[in-house]
Homo-oligomer: A and B are copies of this chain.
Amino acid sequence: MAETTDTGLPRAVAIAWGMQEVPQRGPSRGMSHERIVKAAIEVADNEGLAAVTMQAVAKPLGFTTMSLYRYVSSKDELLRLMQDAALTIPEKVELPTDWREALRVWAGVVREAYRAHPWVLEIPRGPVSILMPNSVRAANLGLGAMKDLPLADDVKIGVILVISQHVASSVELERDLAQEGIVAVPAEGVAVLAEVITPERFPHLAPVMKSGNYIDDEVPVVENGDGIDAEYDLGLNLIISGLETMEQQGTPVNDATK
């Protein structure tokens, strides 16, 4: 599926790491991966990921659609490059010494990266994604945040995955709810829904909905904007709190960093 280079690495990985040798014989190139990806990101930022067509990317650059294929072997590859390039982790991040605070800062950095380009979450993240430069940088930073936490390496990797996924899901939820006109269910629709979500059929959920915090006239069932922050904090707090007990219980450690 994913095109591979002679090193056996997916092409997108080689390109993103700058490991793709440039041809020498022909005319010099008038374009570059960087400029293409940048233009594509601009389109996605302005008009959404669905608006990213080869034509829409090429045109502002003053090139033809097909010319992009001299740099990118498929649209899929372009999407993968965008996915990595959009995950902009700041060059220098000051991490607190306390691992709890450090993890919070780290999660916040990742969260802001997603928030800056929410469409990245629409791109399917295959196993290749994790080999890309910015994913590696993010993982490295996350491990740094946990450097004083006495847990095994594979647990730390797991924590990084769990937190990343939580952050991603949270931003995704936030983005979904921000789309007005979809969430807004008028009172009439809510009333109709209340007829099928009865206490008999849904004994545990129905009372919660009745309690009113989750159904007002506009926003049903799920939380509003503030609720998203609450959900983000809740998940992060639970994970960190869980790590604390794990730390106190002293899980066996197998740390390669010594």
Instruction: List chain A positions with a Cβ less than 8 A from chain B.
Output: 1-2, 4, 7-10, 13, 17, 19, 122, 124-128, 130-131, 136-137, 139-141, 143-144, 147, 153-159, 161-162, 165-166, 168-170, 172-173, 176-177, 179, 181-183, 185-186, 188-189, 192-193, 196-197, 202-208, 210-211, 213-214, 220-223, 227, 230-231, 234-235, 237-246, 256-257
Contact = CB atoms under 8 A, between A and B. Distances in A.
B230 A158 contact: yes
A193 B1 CA distance: 20
A198 to B, nearest CB: 11
Contacts of A182: 1-2, 10, 126-128
Given A127-B179, A143-B204, A241-B241, A230 B154 contact: yes
Given A8-B185, A19-B192, A176-B126, A205 B143 contact: yes
A133 B165 CA distance: 25
Contacts of A128: 182
Contacts of A13: 193
Contacts of A211: 153, 256
20 contacts: A1-B179, A10-B185, A126-B182, A127-B177, A130-B221, A131-B220, A139-B205, A140-B202, A147-B204, A153-B208, A157-B208, A157-B214, A158-B234, A158-B235, A162-B234, A168-B169, A207-B257, A238-B243, A238-B246, A241-B245
Nearest to A178: B127
Contacts of A181: 1
Contacts of A137: 202
A102 to B, nearest CB: 12
- Interface SS majority for chain A: helix
Contacts of A141: 204
Contacts of A241: 241-242, 245-246
Given A130-B222, A256-B207, A257-B204, A122 B122 contact: no
